[in-house]
Chains A and B, each alone.
Chain A
Amino acid sequence: MPSYDTIIIGAGHNGMVCACYLARRGQKVLLLEAANEIGGLAAKREFFPEFQVSVAHSISHFSAKVIKELNLESHGFINPSLALPTVGLNRNGEHVVLAHDEGGAASLSGVSEKDLASFKNYQTLMYRYAAMLKPFWETVLPRIGVGGIAKAMTYAKLGLKLRLLGKSDMREFMRIAMLPARDLMDEYFDNDLLKALLSWDALIGSKMAPRSPNGPVVSLLYRMGGDFEGAHYLPENGIESLIYSLRSVAEASGVEIRTNAPVEKILIQGNESGLKVEGVKMPDGEIITATRVVSSADPHRTFVDLVGVENLEIQFANRIRRLRSEGYVAKLHLALHGEPKFTGLAGPEGRMIIAPSMDTIEFAYDDAKYGEFSRQPVMEVLVPTRYQSGLAPPGKHVISAHVMYVPKKLKSKWCVDAREEIKNKTIDLLSQYSPGLQDLIVHAEFLTPEDIESNFRVTGGNWHHADHVIDQMFMMRPTYEAAQYSTPVPGLFLCGAGCHPGGDLTGAAGHNAAHEILKP
């Protein structure tokens, strides 16, 4: 008799969501987390004594369905009523600000009348597309060519949704879905800051720049599927409240959670009828058996390291090995002894994007794609202490910045000096927008994708576990034969960001995986 119905590897938010659903349906679930904290990339951690931050710092589209079904709000999660403004920072203080009011209506300032008018059209169209796609992010997309009517219906529904857009919108969708972000923005707008700001969420996390093809607009629409139509937010008590409310639900549902529990191998037994998962092996030799193992570790780590290629057929293993999962986003964390001031802003408000134009983003990418760090990086800056207390001592602050593009594989190899150099360069750049910042810094931490890989056990340090690009999306995510959460190894499932629909704090992958596992 296996000891557990299900072992889940990784207590990132997806592993926890999946655990909650399974346990609530009566399964005996063990959740094993390698780190000493739960939360994965969203875990709150002390990066300097008394200063805390999480790698993922804001939410754009966490699943409303998961919040409701798991009743997260009665476990401490407080959905905010207001989204964060997104600010396209200008050195001279003439910023572009995109904000949403309580009713969700967007307002844009700092741009011409012409851009304002275009924005209305752009927004209307994009929201329609985002709304059309939304249901599919929370659906298991069937394998092509197998299965009966029910499966065919999923695709028929997508086709129908497309048709319901009406002929001209449908045509337009087919056209722009595959456009590079640059072409889409150039078609609509003149303002460089605005274009860079709006394309940001099409690009961040994957190996993508404004001129890259391969579906950035689809990625953007994915992120626009949230409550605030693409605007990010912070729960009132921070990202941690999402993680802690999930833990609370998990514990209340009987999930056993173990931290400091890195799984060494997924145990697989083989006989003439094929392979079957038996459980997991821990570093101290402990063997824990289960009917199934569900991994929220990234696909590469799950299959190549934990399963082992000898248990996989050659072409499948090769597709996993060739998943594009190099990270290009680094993190800068600053501990400050006062509130940073930004030129032209009353306070350090919202998500501040430092990207003067799409060319700046493109050039930053050009350096990185050849293995160097960007001569002029671009970044997204948030001061979480502005919204949440407890992350730093009273009066002190934290800056969290996503810095692009920092390659996982630096041509000259990552070393202390290289990290110092890019860190200082990033701080210098940030200081141009926030004069006096240097004097406030108590401590600065810079995490390269390589650091993220080793600290958070995510291959490539990749935001999405594997690039969120069109050939690695939908029923091809992470690759066929593993895209419906089940895998070629019976009893082994995936539930992390490397599955459909992708990364970000959404809970959708964990939700969909549980749905697939529980299906009659």
Chain B
Amino acid sequence: MPPTIIQDINQHNFHEVLRPTPFHPRVDHNCLTKNWMDWNGYLTARTYDTLAAEYFAIRSSCSVMDLTPMGKYRINGPDANKFLNRLVTRDVSMLRPQRVSYVVMCNDEGKVLDDATIFHLSEGDYRLCCQHHQLDWLMISSLGMDVSIEEETHDVAALAVQGPTSASALKLAGIDEIEQLKPYDILHTQLHGFEVMVSRTGYTGDLGYELWTSPDNALNLWDAIFEVKQKGFYDIRTIGLSALEMVRIEAGFILPGDDFNTAETAIRADRVRSPYEVGLGWVVNLDKPSFTGKRALLDEKKKPIKRRLLRLEVSGNKAPQDSFLYAGKGGKRIGTIMTQIWSPILKANLAMADVEFAGGSQPNDIWAEIYYQKELEWRVSWAKGKVWNKPFWTHPRRSASPPGSY
């Protein structure tokens, strides 16, 4: 059976520069700032009303984000598992149906192309979700295998419902079995007569779920959730990508393409990164006999690590945006801040930093040189960095099962 691609280019209205998601009528209604941005070609809200309110919705109540633009690929056929296991560095041969696994894909040189989540929907039927467009790579990878790859980014509408009260809110919305879901579980259920898939997954580091349905039912799904708010049970707020950026850095999740160049987009030879260099060594199963990138990663493992993406807390109150990093104040330049945020909950500047490891070891005195403006005049200051080996922020309810009611 040859691999199949179904793309609904024909359905695209090219008068729209960016494509609205199936939730757009509601998104547009809620988005007071009209602060739009492009995410994989979709019209996406950067913020809805105020960033702080959106952020605190995630951290202290319940947030809803339109996840539709995420790249989604349906993978099945006799060789589906073989295909996936060769595609990713983690061993997914034992991934059970109704379970999700976080994975990373490398090229033959062992450099990261993207991270992804594999949803084992039902026996032999998988969905792969990734940050970037990966259809090309998936098609190339499928040559010689009996597997079907279908782009379904546009055929599945998805919402992330995240925050301490997300389970309680979804239960009230009508998803009775929500409490049974353990982290990375999948549930296929009915809501007001239409099919919804719920997974206990997310990008916030807190308790949270992702809900998947057909575009036809998108508005019904949205309304079912917001009904809980209208009835006055829980506050539920829409959040945009800016708030998500804050919580994902707090939670220590990486963002390929922002925190580092993905292998396919990098032009300069030294810009590509291995999973070890971006802190994803834990999803590399070198004991798996073979996968794409294995030979290169085995070699790399034998040598001292050259650099790493570090979680860096930068002291003071100045944003270390795009800052260079130095070994000691005014010392040798050893790295760059890739992404950074101010964390309201930790009251700290948190950053993802690309740092050289001379001789394979982590520098112990990292300083950031911060340029900032005072009334349009540039100033410079120095701030010391502190490396976090764990996520900056986590909460036990993220993995508590059943989740407590908040």
Residues of A within 8 A of B (CB): 269-275, 304, 308-318, 321, 488
Contact = CB atoms under 8 A, between A and B. Distances in A.
Given A304-B144, A313-B295, 15 more contacts: A272-B287, A274-B289, A274-B295, A308-B144, A309-B86, A309-B144, A313-B108, A314-B137, A314-B141, A315-B140, A315-B292, A316-B108, A317-B143, A318-B140, A318-B143
25 contacts: A270-B289, A270-B290, A272-B289, A274-B295, A275-B289, A275-B290, A308-B144, A309-B86, A309-B143, A311-B290, A312-B290, A313-B86, A313-B108, A313-B291, A313-B294, A313-B295, A314-B86, A314-B87, A314-B108, A314-B137, A314-B141, A317-B144, A318-B143, A321-B143, A488-B295
Contacts of A310: 79, 82, 86, 145, 290
B289 A271 contact: yes
B86 A274 contact: no
A315 B108 contact: yes
B298 interface: yes
Contacts of A314: 86-87, 107-108, 137, 140-141, 292
A186 B143 CA distance: 43
Interface in B307-323: none
Q: How large is the interface on B (under 10, 10 to 19, 20 to 34, 35 or more residues)?
A: 20 to 34
B286 interface: yes
Interface string B119-160: 000000000000000000100110111000000000000000
Contacts of B289: 269-272, 274-275
B293 interface: yes
A488 B290 CA distance: 11
A313 B293 CA distance: 7
B145 A309 contact: yes
- Residue of B79, B144, B288, B295 with most chain A CB atoms under a 10 A cut-off: B144
B290 A274 contact: yes
Nearest to A318: B140
Contacts of B108: 313-316
Interface of B: 79, 82, 86-87, 107-108, 137, 140-141, 143-145, 286-295, 298
Contacts of B291: 313
B302 to A, nearest CB: 11
Given A274-B298, A313-B292, A321 B144 contact: yes
Given A304-B144, A310-B145, A318-B143, A273 B298 contact: yes
A152 B291 CA distance: 31
Contacts of B140: 314-315, 318
Contacts of A488: 295
Contacts of A271: 287, 289
A63 to B, nearest CB: 33
Contacts of B294: 274, 313
A78 B359 CA distance: 63
A453 to B, nearest CB: 18
Contacts of B287: 271-272
Across the A-B interface, the 3 shortest Cβ-Cβ residue pairs: A270-B289, A309-B144, A272-B287
A95 B108 CA distance: 55
Contact of A315 (B79, B107, B288, B298): B107
Nearest to A490: B295
- By CB atoms of chain A within 10 A, which of B79, B289, B291, B298 has the most? B289
B3 to A, nearest CB: 13
Nearest to B285: A272
Nearest to A321: B143
A311 B86 CA distance: 8
A315 B110 CA distance: 11
A208 B266 CA distance: 35
A309 B107 CA distance: 15
Q: Which among A271, A274, A304, A309 has the greatest number of chain B C-beta atoms within 10 A?
A: A309
Contacts of A272: 286-289
A311 B295 CA distance: 12
A93 to B, nearest CB: 53
Contacts of B79: 310
A352 B87 CA distance: 53
Contacts of A269: 289
B269 to A, nearest CB: 11
A318 B140 CA distance: 7
Contacts of B141: 314
A310 B147 CA distance: 12
Contacts of B107: 314-315
A321 B87 CA distance: 17
A309 B294 CA distance: 15
Nearest to A322: B143
Contacts of B295: 274, 313, 488
A143 to B, nearest CB: 14
Nearest to B140: A318
Q: Which of B108, B140, B288 has the most CB of A within 10 A?
A: B108
A50 to B, nearest CB: 43
Contacts of B143: 309, 317-318, 321
A486 B253 CA distance: 40
Nearest to A488: B295
A316 B110 CA distance: 13
A312 B145 CA distance: 12
A74 to B, nearest CB: 45
Contacts of A318: 140, 143
A320 to B, nearest CB: 9
A287 B108 CA distance: 30
A199 B155 CA distance: 56
Contacts of A308: 144
Residue from A270, A308, A314 whose CB has the most chain B CB atoms within 10 Å: A314
A269 B288 CA distance: 11
A313 B137 CA distance: 12
A463 to B, nearest CB: 24
A273 B140 CA distance: 26
A114 B87 CA distance: 63
A8 B361 CA distance: 47
A42 B143 CA distance: 32
Contacts of B144: 304, 308-309, 317, 321
A429 to B, nearest CB: 38
Nearest to A319: B108
A304 B289 CA distance: 18
Contacts of B87: 314
Contacts of A273: 298
A512 B290 CA distance: 29
Contacts of B290: 270, 274-275, 310-313
A283 to B, nearest CB: 21
Contacts of A270: 289-290
Contacts of A321: 143-144
Most chain B Cβ neighbours within 10 Å, of A272, A275, A308, A313: A313
A511 B51 CA distance: 70
A273 B286 CA distance: 8
A95 B141 CA distance: 54
- B79, B287, B291, B294: most-surrounded residue (chain A CB, <10 A): B294
A130 to B, nearest CB: 36
Contacts of A274: 289-290, 294-295, 298
Nearest to B105: A314
A316 B108 CA distance: 7
A488 B299 CA distance: 13
A212 B286 CA distance: 46
A181 B292 CA distance: 40
A313 B294 CA distance: 8
Most buried by B among A269, A273, A317, A321: A317
A245 to B, nearest CB: 39
